[in-house]
Amino acid sequence: MRKLLILLVLLAGAVRAEEARQPEETHAIITRQAVTASRYMVAAAHPQAAEAGRAVLAAGGSAADAAVAIQMMLNLVEPQSSGIGGGAFALYWDAATATLSTWDGRETAPLAAGPDYWLGPDGAPVKWPEAVVGGRSVGVPGTLMLLEHLHARFGRMQWAGLLAPAIRAAELGFPVSARLSASITGALEFNLAASPEARAYFLDADGVPWPEGHILTNPDFAETLGLIAAGGIAEFYNGATAAKIIAATRMTDNPGILTTGDFTAYQVRERPPVCAPYRGYQVCGMGPPSSGALTVGQILMLLERFDLAAMGPGAEAWHLFAEASKLAYADRALYMADSDFIDMPEGLLNRDYMAARSRLIDPGAAHGPAEAGTPPWDEARIYAPDTTQERPGTSHFVVVDAAGNMISMTTTIETGFGSGVMVGGFLLNNELTDFSFAPEQDGKPVANRVEGGKRPRSSMAPTIVLKDGRPVLLVGSPGGSRIIAYVAQALVAMLDWGMDPQAAVDQGHVANRNGGTDLEEGSDAASYGLALQAMGHEVAIRNMNSGLHAIWIGDGVLVGGADKRREGVVLGE
């Protein structure tokens, strides 16, 4: 009977839309209340990961130390979303110097890759499902090096000790959660068939996903972490693990071209924060290759002339939010990519430019898809737009330590279960599918085209909000290209409507990526559908899974929220 049920699930899944069949969907809703603390706090996407971070903070560790422990545990207990086989962006507030830094651990394309990387034998772009599974979609992972950089700069505790909880849990085993079990089932028809290692780990001897509560051990991951604990990240980027990754990406039906040179050339980059003004706050995030901070910043600046506080949440406000999102996503598609490879406009957050764009919003009626604007930049029209949309996946966590140091970090292997290729007990990313598959359009190059060593554009938007130069809010989310909408919506809820973090992350989602307006099924947002349609919106009710985590920093109090759509928790003291 159990095998029959699995077969029926697979048959049903085979006919679902490409986006809907991704495993990172909402499987359950968990009612939560905001959590308060006074000394330190962590909010992460799995209870064991949050506890690993809390234990570090209780022992006197820094936010950077906690981030190492959290990420390693997430790799083990939430393997479908992030890990050392992927990439990440992090914002770090150093309390001692009162400075905000941002860290780019995004994956890179092979140095030998060119603009034709995703073109088939016929010269046309390959289809997304054909590109994801196997080694060709794998970029050089950056998460581990990012953690090492943060630890070297801001850490207090020994590196090996921070990896110990994940090593111990991998050896002794951890209970498979309901979400992980359902996610495995959702991915069976797609990317979990990519490697024998993945099948052997996620399925029983009969090919059935492990059920909720099964104690799952991962000795291979324990061994990998043991090598990293003893020898640092050099083993991963220059040693046996790098060789294993390269070999695994080549032994698939869709082989990649990664080399040892790609791994030894990889670097984490510290980049300037991108900050947008909004109602007396500075909303700061990660710049290119992430489009997150720029696009979130544009949405907020486009909305600033409207009295959202007086409107409150409802169809009127969400209409304005959707129209602002169209304009921001249009600029994102044309201009935003890895700024190490392309010239980025300096005026995308220019106040005069944003004011002019905001005047295009009609408060009473929706208009069709927006065109990109022309910011104050001499070369504003040399590129063609790229509408590539990242698929739902990813994880986010936030930490405040007892000394006032803070981190907001979004981490990913892209699509749930990434490329499906597993090596050393961890999954490899499929981030190269975040590049534009078409290198040019109408004779113009696409800014987000593939180039050797380039980082694909991302929507990840880890955010720290400042007031009078000090942090007051940490927030971020998974969710593919809807991350931008999820984060911007949570910011409006907290900054305009005074919601506490839990209420803000729990509100029903509204998103427009310069097309139709998506409303979250089964939520209060779905009730706005008829009113939005009356204003001209093309409305679709969808499963819109996020994983928002937020901490509000008040006067002597921390208030945290964890997304009801996932299994995360907030812990603090």
Which residues are known to be catalytic?
Answer: 394
Which residues touch 365 (CB under 8 Å, ≥6 apart)?
Answer: 535, 536
Which residues lie below 8 Å from residue 550, measured CB to CB, with a gap of 6+? 43, 398, 473, 474, 475, 490, 494, 501, 504, 505, 560, 561
Q: Is 3 exposed, middle or buried (0-12, 13-18, 19+ CB in 10 A)?
A: exposed
Q: Which residues pair with 435 in a beta bridge?
A: none
Structure tokens at 30: 């968990």
Pairwise CA distance, residues 357 & 372, whole Å? 10
Contact 565, 32 (CB under 8 A): no
Task: Please spell the DSSP secondary structure of 317-386, one letter per residue.
Answer: HHHHHHHHHHHHHHHHHHH-S-TTTSPPPTTTT-HHHHHHHHTT--TT---SPPPP---S-TTTTSSB--
Backbone angles phi, psi at 348, to 5 degrees: -65, -25
Q: How many CB atoms lie within 10 A of CB 555?
A: 4
Instruction: Find residue 572's DSSP bridge partners.
Output: 41
C-alpha span between 41 and 410 (Å, rounded): 17
What does the block give as tokens for 434? 């975040």
Q: Where do we find the tokens 């993945």? A: 198
d(CA 110, CA 331): 27
Chain CA centroid to CA 369, Å: 25
Whether the Cβ atoms of residue 140 and residue 258 lie closer than 8 Å to each other: yes
Q: Beta strand pairing status for 281-285 and 274-278?
A: antiparallel
Strands (E), 401-438: 406-415, 422-423, 426-427
Of 192, 179, 157, 127, give the one whose Cα is nearest residue 415.
192
DSSP character at residue 141: P
- Tokens for 564, please give them: 């009801």
Report the distance separating Cα 497 and Cα 490, nearest Å.
10
Angle between helices 219-231 and 159-172 in degrees, nearest 10: 170
With beta carbons less than 8 A apart as the criterion, state whether 458 and 336 touch: no
Round to whole Å and give the CA distance between 56 and 573: 12
Cα separation of 460 and 345, whole Å?
A: 20
